[in-house]
Amino acid sequence: MKRIIAFLTAAIMIIVLSPVAIAAPGLELGGSFKTKIEYEKKQLTGKSELSLETLMGEDLKAGFSITGLNRNFNGPWENGGIISVDKMWLETRGPLFPGTSSIVTRLGGLGIAYSPYTAIVGENGISVDEINLGPASLGAFYAWDGPNSVVQGARLAFSPVDALKIQGSMVKADQVYYDLQAEVAPADFMKLTGVYATEETDKEHAMKVDAAVQVLRDLQVRAGYRDITDNFSPKYGDPNFKEPKVPYYVPGQKGFLVGATFKQPDLVVEGNYAFFNEQLNFSATRTLGLGGINFDAVLEGMYKVNASEMGNLKAGVKYTAPNGLNLSVGYDFIVQQPSASVELQMAF
């Protein structure tokens, strides 16, 4: 812990007190820090993330992020306790030629997020994005994944009207990966989404189609279809990108699923049934007040219809403080083990 505090303090002081900062009185420093300590299945772990960025002028940004702050308290430091700079980058916004529209150019550690199915790229390189041509938007990148490996890609988004959004992307690495996504909202109460991603050489693919209809003010119903081959695993795909508890894709899924969500001011009940594995996932969240403090009581589980047994059942209490502190305690009735977590998020 002392090592982490000392490093973070030194990093912030170096940036703030650097000659660049002193010479630029208008320099703005910002960033975020997130740390979480979790106890689950008799394991106590800690994970932290730090990113800093500074606005050096009207259209120029610089930043970096740090990894290696993961700790398994039941064992040694991950990565040998070595804290390393994960990304360093410069980003500018402005026209490439006088009189043309503004674009975003980034050099260094990239933040490509075209699609969680094929194109989540953070390697070092150069990217251009937000090239707007009427209803169309373009982006492209070129990066290095090791001394002898190159990854490159591009995206094209098209939205002629607000109710229709289409995006296609391509990534060339060990093979070529393609991705096509579409979203249609024919009415305020209805939304249709679809995605098709494929690997050119291995012939693996993922297809998803989903429909959501708000039948009542408090009730939404959903239906969908999955066709994902067993070995679909794109090199730059990330099924848990921003959705660790609900993966974007699971290899081997093929079939229909249905679901519904019932919402009221202090109650949310949700259920999803997948025909391809005959499993029902459900959750209920109730907001309660005690002594002027609101907290959420949560019950969630999974029922295996084909085996007529519970595969998962957890209950817990969660509290989110105004200062960014998140607390939760729970109990897993299947493995008969308690769990707890403390998380702090700061933006500055």
Per-residue pLDDT tens over the stretch 112-157:
999 999 999 999 999 999 999 989 999 999 999 877 889 999 999 9
Q: Is 302 a residue whose pLDDT tops 60? A: yes
Q: Tell me, what's the pLDDT at 89?
A: 86
Q: Is 88 a residue whose pLDDT tops 70? A: yes
Instruction: Return d(Cα 155, Cα 232) in angstroms, integer.
Output: 21
Work out whether the CA dihedral 244, 246, 249, 254 comes out positive or negative.
positive
Q: Which of 283, 212, 204, 192 is nearest to 246 (CA)?
A: 283
Mean pLDDT of 85-114: 85
Token reading at 200: 């050119």
Instruction: Return d(Cα 153, Cα 150) in angstroms, integer.
Output: 10
Q: Tell me, what's the pLDDT at 243?
A: 82
Token reading at 17: 């007190």
| pTM for the structure as a whole | 0.82
Q: Is 347 a residue whose pLDDT tops 90? A: no
Mean pLDDT of 222-236: 97
